[in-house]
Amino acid sequence: MSGRVSHPIVDTTRGDGRVACLTFDDGPDPTDTPRLLDVLRRHRVSAVFCLVGDQVDAHPEIVRRIVADGHTLGNHSMHHDDMGNWTPERIAADLRETDAAIRRAVPDARIGYFRAPYGSWGQSPAVAASLGLRSLGWRLAITDWEPPGTDELVRRLLDGVTPGAVVLLHDGGGDRSQTVDAVDRVIPLLRADHWRFTLPERPR
């Protein structure tokens, strides 16, 4: 991407001090997302789920559970395409289609954020803003799509998290069992070190 982004991409959390936000992309997945929701409920952590429209249409009941559990929704495009070179009109059509898919699952869903697939933003931040969506980036990505093993993911999370960080994780797009297991282990470790979990900061 070239040029300056004219609309803010949020990558920090609300609140001060040792706070972090967990965000999950590419779901919902029929196996790993329910397990992750169990983990988050057990630890009483709210997160952001950036949903792919195709997956929403395939698994609407999981989207309903995400909302029922009190988590925040994000638009992650309809088919997880690279939008970096798309026109604003094409981006807007895709985002609207994805929002419509989410609202077929949850008619009154509040969709607060948009995250560009692959972090390839192009002109999407301005388009997202025109549709009432806040563009959501991240401060820490642990590359859990590799996947490198649960122990390594735990290490990357503990070593990489910084105060105010939005953390990029995945609950879909492949076998994410290592991510779910790592989150289950990391939350109590961070809490014991006086970390709190919150939502992303709103852009000014």
Question: Mind telling me the catalytic residues?
Answer: 25, 170
Residue 75: phi, psi to the nearest 5?
A: -90, 125
Question: What are the structure tokens assigned to 57, written together?
Answer: 């249409």
Name the CA dihedral angle for 35, 37, 39, 42, rounded to a multiple of 10 degrees. -130
Q: How far is CA 156 from the centre of its chain?
A: 18
Please give the Cα distance from 101 to 57 (Å, whole number): 6
Hey, which residues does 86 pair with through a beta bridge?
none
Please give the Cα distance from 113 to 121 (Å, whole number): 13
Please give the Cα distance from 179 to 15 (Å, whole number): 25
Residue 203 parent element (H or E): none
**How far does the chain reach from its first CA to its final CA, in angstroms?**
23
Question: What are the structure tokens assigned to 186, written together?
Answer: 């990391």
For 146, the 3-state DSSP assignment is: coil
Q: How far is CA 132 from the centre of its chain?
A: 17
